[in-house]
Amino acid sequence: MHDDRTLVEARLKRVLDERIRPAVYPESVPLEVAVWNAPGEPVPVDEGLAAAPEPIEVGARWGAPWGTSWFRVTGTVPEAWAGRTVEALLDLGFDENMPGFQCEGLVYRPDGTPVKGLNPRNQWVRIGAPVEGGERVRLHIEAASNPVILDYHPFLPTRLGDKETAGSEPQYRLERMDLAVFDETVWQLVNDLEVLGELMAELPVESARRWDILRAVERALDAVDLQDVNGTAEAARSQLRDVLAAPAVPSAHRISAVGHAHIDSAWLWPLRETVRKVARTTSNMTALLEDEPDFVFAMSQAQQWAWVRDHRPEVWARVKKAVADGRFVPAGGMWVESDTNMPGSEAMARQFVHGKRFFLDEFGVENDEAWLPDTFGFAAGLPQIIKAAGSKWLLTQKISWSQTNKFPHHTFRWEGIDGTRIFTHFPPVDTYNCSMKGSEIAHAANNFKDKGVARHSLAPTGWGDGGGGTTREMIAKAARLRDLEGSATVVWETPEDFFRKAEAEYPDAPVWVGELYLELHRATLTSQAKTKQGNRRSEHLLREAELWAATAAVRTGFPYPYEELDRLWKTVLLHQFHDILPGSSIAWVHREARRTYERVAEELGAVIDAAQHALAGDGSTELVFNSAPHGRDGVPAGGAAAQRVDGEVGLAPRTGGGHVLDNGLLRVEIDERGLVVSAYDLEAERETVAPGRAANLLQIHPDFPNMWDAWDVDEFYRNTVTDLVDTDEVAPAEDGVSVRIVRSFGASRVTQVLSLAPGERRLGIDTEVDWHETEKFLKLAFPLDVHAERYASETQFGHFHRPTHTNTSWESAKFEACNHRFVHIEEPGWGVALVNDSTYGHDVTRTVRDSDSGTTTTVRVSLLRAPRFPDPETDQGLHRFRHALVPGAAIGDAVREGWRINLPERRVSGAREVAPLVTVDQDAVVVTAVKLADDGSGDVVVRFHESRGGRTKATLTAGFEAGEVTVTDLLERPLTDAAPPTRDGDRISLRLRPFELVTLRLTRA
């Protein structure tokens, strides 16, 4: 037989595009349209429905950036259409390639009942099936004219990302507002041909199955009368029934399709718009669930569920019913799909606490899976947190985006820093927006790396990022792929159904140890510095507020602010969403975030102040409140006392220019350039700074990645570097015992103050940057005379080691990495810590010196970037950072100093010292939370972990008469399999594994 394959395939494409798809709606009549433009922010539904609209014609432009227009469409179903299915086609000016990234709408009936959402892939509203003819139609559309930020030429700077700078130019042109007859037979034919055509394209040319499909498609096309598609569609479908009925082979890959709409809680749109995006999507999905009995839809992010509950009660009622039916599934058990690299220990725990509790309270549903398809890498401390929250599975897709190395598994067990293992799945479909295309299904099956030992994978199915969800076309395709020769099989299932099957078939799944590092989007550790500082400061303020409010409640009857703390925690957790905290959202989002963090700080400051004054009483004695988990300067951890500071600091001129700081423990030489050329540990008789090098060195690089400006820094940025060594001033600071350095470069200015603390081996570095560069990367470098093949960086509830060398491509790819409060580098017996109060990104490199063959290990802190997309003014303005270099530091010193720089003491005048509510006699055990139980019982909850990576024994003593002591999960529920702690009165004996996390609940006797 002659090879006519390409001829038939080309014929299929043209006939589908030009004849069959247009015949889905063979007849139409125009609707009358009127519009009212809301003058400011979105208005309540009642106000939008009651407004007086003015006529508008199809073809007219509408919609200022971020505006809301209320369209009223009216018309009459022709009598001649009686007995047929009729739909309204409402095209606001959509580009079908941009679902979720364009204008959108929510359709209402005149009584305010929401009908469904409108987006580029979902433009229809069912009027009747069948209609009687003559019905009067009236619908209202709340249309959001969200501008296109990420266009066909992506990453171009735009002012459209903030309502304050976006202007008023109409963004869209009204395309179509019609009533139309819907021909379901033709629509089914379209899905038949699309599924077979897409499957055919994925099969080997030499396979018999491909040619069987080709011949069937040819017969179907022959059966179509191009002048009467509607009259011949059924005949065409009959030619395809045999090839569509051929069952899949027994070894076919099995895909669990989960209806999904990954909705970014903020990204290229502000938070207020996400509230409406969620309403549109959930309206569509509840309607689709009513029409499609096999369909299952899962939605994560408890915050988004709460938005529906609080802002769209009519939609919420439909959602609750669908949840009760088991078909609209709460997923993930987190407050939002957060970043997992940067949130601190307690914040990461509270993501699960608040997320899981919401689903339990609202629906009685307990989530066993963490659902994070789009998060930018996963910290090594996360498995323990997932388990401590009562969950056991993890799903993500994003690691498939890694640029350098292909991850070796799709299903595996992920082991965290404490040894906890979590069953984990990466969908091999490589998208969280699967649309059931044949290419996607084939890719999932071919790409799956665990063939031979497993055959199940998951496909999150539906338009996402900006929402939209699953469409009826995706469901129609999935129905045809349920059992189809040549394809993987597809069945709608819940995440739980998938994980149970996958784990059962693969009990000996391979293990991956340590962080799941994404070899991409590394610059999210630095972009939008003020957002990151707001997060870090808020986390520590929440710790302080809980600690002092709980202490005051137990000691004085202070009213514990349950509701206020709950609300503020949720606010902070929301802003840890993986496009807010990482700095990859539009200007509007980060402008609002800065203001939100200011309000959070003000409210928490008031709680802390009130609790501390209640504890201290009225008096004139200066008390220092220490909220860090370690004692300092005579003040116990979690207590308040008069401070004792021993030692002095001297400042003297340096021979050859500059200054010398000396406190008897550390001698620091600062040259005439304001650089640290020596940091000498007097006790260890050991130099910190590498020979011939200088620390506290600011370096600036060009920073123009190939794409994803706010997200990425590409390795070639290192090829060009400028050391900032010129100074405007190097002189003693006003206090007479510190050194002030001022530098100017480009359009920017840096002021630093270097200081020593009495009695401490700690060089404080306070940096103020007035930053006005663009597409530049600012680093602060510390070349250290330390030979180390690995270094430690803090992560949740512990630390994680990374190599300093680049032996493999996996190691080389980690050229920018995350730390929390410290980075620690050590030779046996002596180490150096670099601690910070608000930065996360860093790099560590090593070189061998020609002069003495010694090793220089250089730690560089990432301070600022200046990408222009999606926020063209990223990080412009004034920034303040605090760092400290700690020579002679063991890992325990790094932990302690990291807490200290983030929790400065507070001074309060009062009458009495405050004893800690709980104490621990072992510094290796770090208490991360002291609070009252969330259930309002008044029980005291204490969370702690082993912080140094070793086994330890300790005693926790309650500073109050304790009753029952219970080991709990993160949600403060008893762990039935945990041995009761050994106690002697109010003294509780502890034995902890390396990095073990424990939560205790203590009743008050």
Residues recognised as catalytic: 374
Closest to 769 (Cα-Cα) out of 865, 697, 877? 877
Chain-centre distance for alpha carbon 516: 14
762, 897 Cβ separation under 8 angstroms: yes
Q: Cα–Cα distances in Å, from 422 out to 371, 406, 500, 886?
A: 13, 20, 13, 36
Number of C-beta neighbours around residue 713 at 10 A: 28
Closest to 104 (Cα-Cα) out of 250, 283, 265, 334? 283
Closest to 240 (Cα-Cα) out of 292, 190, 183? 190
657, 674 Cβ separation under 8 angstroms: no
Cis amide prior to 916 (ω within 30 degrees): no
Task: Fill in the DSSP letter of residue 921.
Answer: S
Closest to 467 (Cα-Cα) out of 123, 99, 107, 122? 99
CB-hemisphere CA count at 13 Å for 313?
3
445 Ramachandran zone, left/alpha/beta (phi>0; psi -120 to 50): alpha
CA 823 to CA 834: how far, in whole Å? Answer: 5
- Backbone φ and ψ for 991, nearest 5 degrees, come out as -130, 120
Closest to 540 (Cα-Cα) out of 27, 906, 148? 906
Instruction: Spell out the residues 6+ positions from residue 756 whose beta carbon is closer than 8 angstroms to its own.
Output: 649, 661, 662, 663, 666, 668, 737, 762, 763, 764
CA 578 to CA 372: how far, in whole Å? Answer: 10
Q: Is the alpha carbon torsion for 782, 786, 787, 790 positive or negative?
A: negative
Supply 104's token pair.
């959108």
Supply 212's token pair.
């069987």
The SS3 assignment for 554 reads helix
Residue type, 973: R
Supply 109's token pair.
């009936």
Radius of gyration of the chain (CA): 31
Beta strands in 914-981, from DSSP E residues, in sequence order:
918-920, 925-932, 940-946, 952-958, 962-968
Q: Is the alpha carbon torsion for 340, 346, 347, 350 positive or negative?
A: positive
Q: Cα–Cα distances in Å, from 346 out to 50, 553, 651, 783, 931?
A: 47, 21, 40, 32, 12
Instruction: Spell out the residues 6+ positions from residue 496 whose beta carbon is closer than 8 angstroms to its own.
Output: 329, 368, 369
Longest dimension (CA), the chain: 102
CA 921 to CA 819: how far, in whole Å? Answer: 27
Q: What is the 3-state secondary structure (H, E, C) of 855-917?
A: EEEEEEEEEEECCCCCCCCCCCEEEEEEEEEEECCCHHHHHHHHHHHHCCCEEEEECCCECCC
407, 846 Cβ separation under 8 angstroms: no
Residue in this structure with the two tokens 């082993």, named with its chain if needed: 946
Closest to 375 (Cα-Cα) out of 424, 436, 305? 424
Length of the chain: 1005
